[in-house]
A and B are shown apart, each in its own frame.
Chain A
Amino acid sequence: MEIFGIPSALLGSQLLIGLINGSFYAILSLGLAIIFGLLNIINFAHGAQYMMGAFIAWLALTKFGINYWVALIATPIIVGAFGVLLERTMLRKLYKLDHLYGLLLTFGIALIIEGIFRDQFGISGQSYDVPELLSGGVNLGFMFLPIYRGWIIVAALTVCFGTWFMIERTKLGAYLRAGTENSQMVQALGINVPLLITFTYGYGVALAAFAGVLAAPVFQVNPLMGSHLIIVVFAVVVIGGMGSIMGSIVTGLGLGLIEGLTKVFYPEASSVIVFVIMVIVLLVRPAGLFGKA
């Protein structure tokens, strides 16, 4: 059977791959959205923090023999702690200033981090093997799906919806949301808003690192792996609506699918399609699909 001249099996596999890539977009844009929502900081270091996640997992495995599963938990904590340090020592001073300052600072930090890793590990990248438990694949009839790719969808969606639940349905989340709306009032009620902000930034950074560990066995672990991805992720956040939690998750997955289809119908445009959609969305709904105008 063919759909638009493309065998349906090929189309099915492309949609699935689109969903896998969409999972990365979702988890990365979610982190950005949370940080922007509460801190009003456009975290340009997100790509570098994603790369740090992948590199630390690789270092842990090759230098200390720490396996994938431990790294999946420990790495986000380590990189998240690095984020906390960054927030406490530098970002904190910029909250009252224009967005542009935060953007420039985090962009500078990204360049420094990438420079250090490039200097230490070179540019060709490092290989991280798929963990034993998730190696191999299953034949779905229309495609051969590596088990690890399936795991990416499961892990990413679990973390994304877990985060959404925490922010939208728990007391801590309520504080967070209240803090974004009116931080002075929340502070007056006895809640430590600066601590909340630090925690939020650390969590957003940890999400990036988590995505990095997930990506390590799939892509070459390379100092520039985040800088290529981050631009697309920013477009995802803009399309979804800056600061919208559910918006960033749904948009991430949706754009992954659309990008996947573009790779079959007109591959040359697959790196541009997200930006074309961004332009259209900005013209029609300037606040983004899920953003509040």
Chain B
Amino acid sequence: MLDKKLLTVACAAVFATLSAGAQAQYSGNVVKIGVLTDLSGTYSDLAGSGAVLATEMAIADFIAKEKPAFKIEMVSSDHQNKADIAANKAREWFEREGVDTATELVTTSTALAVMKIAKEKDRIALINGAASTPITNEQCNDVSVHYTYDTYALSNGTAKAVTQQGGKTWFFLTADYAFGHALEKDATAVITANGGKVLGSVAHPFPGSDFSSFLLQAQASGAQVIGLANAGADTTNAIKQAAEFGITPKQSLAGLLMFITDVHSLGLKPTQGMYLTTGFYWDRNDETRAWAKRFFDKQKRMPTMVQAGQYSSIYHYLEAVKAAGTDDTMKVMAAMKKAPINDFFAKNGVIRADGRMVHDMYLVQVKKPADSKYPWDYYTIRQTIPADQAFQPLSESRCPLVKK
């Protein structure tokens, strides 16, 4: 008797599963998210395992709150900042493992490679870590979203604010590769537009470790501001050595691509007073604090804007899948572009035709050591840069998808 009852329950369960599968339009009966990031190299602190955690949190929160009818799975992989590795993994995920979206994608070269494959295989690329503007300009496509930030927003925010506050003459320390030169070019345009002048620049090899030679050249130029058009360890070493050689605070530094992990690793002494632009600061309001504390409990570090953006983008993606009732790429993309993004990361964020998610950015100043009251209390928010001013306007877009 008991056996019979058990059998009935089992049959009902099987039937329920089958019918659910038949009704819903989810490939492989599951929505599968692939986190393709730098898990071991230069960017593993600002993206890396923290981005994987943010994805897990987004999935868990989404399931708890929305109780979706579909199953969600996550896979992750280390692309080692190499475009070929990223491309191979994305192809494997899309072709054989039924991954619906490849996400995070720090470093521009990996992002561009995966965007192309996503287009070819009709899947989605959600880009958070990569910074360069070609992603939403020359190389844009209709299956990719550039979510968190880009070099335009950063140089625009920081260079504009510093120039307007009297830093009229600039000298650049530029990482000698496409990214560094792009950053310098973007910033130079903003500086000249605001009445400033660029006195010179020096292109340093990437990666470098001793920047004292270049810093002394910057010092000799007599410029008020030394712009750091580089990232990661290059930026932190340059800042540290500028303090060592007594260049700061006589001349000030402007980091054009800096993350809270960089400030944390240097400490406040050499970084105090610096301006930088960010898409997220954990201590901005109650909402950001609540999320960041949950993140911190697991990761033992406060989230960077890339990690916060990763959470937000994944949650938004899952909401779009639910709204569309399918994981079909174009339908989900349409749903993502239709719904505004409102969470701790963005208020009324919108994904434009070029794939750029526009949201407010924040110009922050690094606190003096004496003003920092608790761990990770690093920034004072000086200005909220409204979404429509923070990013490159559509009128300047070089993306073929933008109708002018």
Contacts and interface: CB of A to CB of B under 8 A. Distances in A.
A225 B265 contact: no
A208 B245 CA distance: 25
B281 to A, nearest CB: 17
A247 to B, nearest CB: 23
A263 B220 CA distance: 14
B264 A267 contact: no
A21 B210 contact: yes
Contacts of B241: 218
B299 to A, nearest CB: 10
Residue in B43, B212, B301 whose Cβ sees the most chain A Cβ within 10 Å: B212
Given A10-B220, A123-B45, A271-B205, A220 B212 contact: no
B44 interface: yes
A110 B43 CA distance: 20
Interface string A95-132: 00000000000000000000100100011111101100
Interface stretch (B66-74, B232-240, B382-390): B232-240
A90 interface: no
Interface string B2-13: 000000000000
Contact of A260 (B213, B237, B265): B213
A13 B44 contact: no
Contacts of B267: 127
A280 interface: no
A146 B244 contact: yes
Contact of B265 (A9, A220, A268): A220
A194 interface: no
A126 B237 CA distance: 11
B209 A267 contact: no
A123 B217 contact: no
B203 interface: yes
B261 interface: yes
B213 A264 contact: yes
Residue in A144, A149, A263 whose Cβ sees the most chain B Cβ within 10 Å: A263
A26 B46 CA distance: 34
Interface in B185-235: 202-205, 207-210, 212-214, 216-217, 220, 232-233
Contact of A126 (B203, B213, B265): B265
Query: For the side of the interface on B, what is the size category?
Result: 35 or more
Contact of A123 (B44, B209, B237, B269): B44
Given A124-B45, A137-B246, A220 B233 contact: yes
Interface in A221-254: 222, 224-225, 228-229
Nearest to A270: B205
Query: For the side of the interface on A, what is the size category?
Result: 35 or more
Given A146-B245, A220-B240, A124 B261 contact: yes
A137 B246 CA distance: 8
Interface in A185-234: 218-220, 222, 224-225, 228-229
Contacts of A118: 40, 44
B209 A219 contact: yes
B216 A218 contact: no
A220 B213 contact: no
B216 A10 contact: yes
B176 interface: yes
A211 B232 CA distance: 23
Contacts of A162: none
A166 interface: no
A34 interface: no
Contacts of B220: 7, 9-10
A36 interface: no
A272 B236 CA distance: 23
Contacts of A163: none
A143 interface: yes
Contacts of A137: 245-246
B233 A222 contact: yes
Given A220-B237, A267-B202, A271-B205, A14 B245 contact: no
A122 B216 contact: no
A95 to B, nearest CB: 33
Interface string B167-189: 00000000010000000000000
B160 to A, nearest CB: 27
A137 B45 CA distance: 33
A149 B265 CA distance: 22
Contacts of B216: 10, 13-14, 17, 143
A198 B45 CA distance: 38
A125 B236 contact: yes
A290 interface: no
B262 interface: yes
A228 B246 CA distance: 26
A84 to B, nearest CB: 29
Interface string A6-48: 0101100110011011000000000000000000000000000
B369 interface: no
B188 to A, nearest CB: 18
Contacts of A55: none
A270 B264 CA distance: 30
Given A20-B212, A137-B245, A228-B207, 9 more contacts: A17-B216, A21-B210, A124-B45, A124-B46, A124-B262, A125-B233, A143-B216, A146-B245, A219-B237
Interface of B: 40-46, 48, 176, 202-205, 207-210, 212-214, 216-217, 220, 232-233, 236-237, 240-241, 244-246, 261-262, 264-267, 269-270, 301
16 contacts: A10-B216, A10-B217, A123-B41, A124-B261, A144-B246, A149-B212, A220-B237, A220-B266, A222-B233, A224-B42, A263-B214, A264-B213, A267-B202, A267-B204, A268-B205, A270-B205
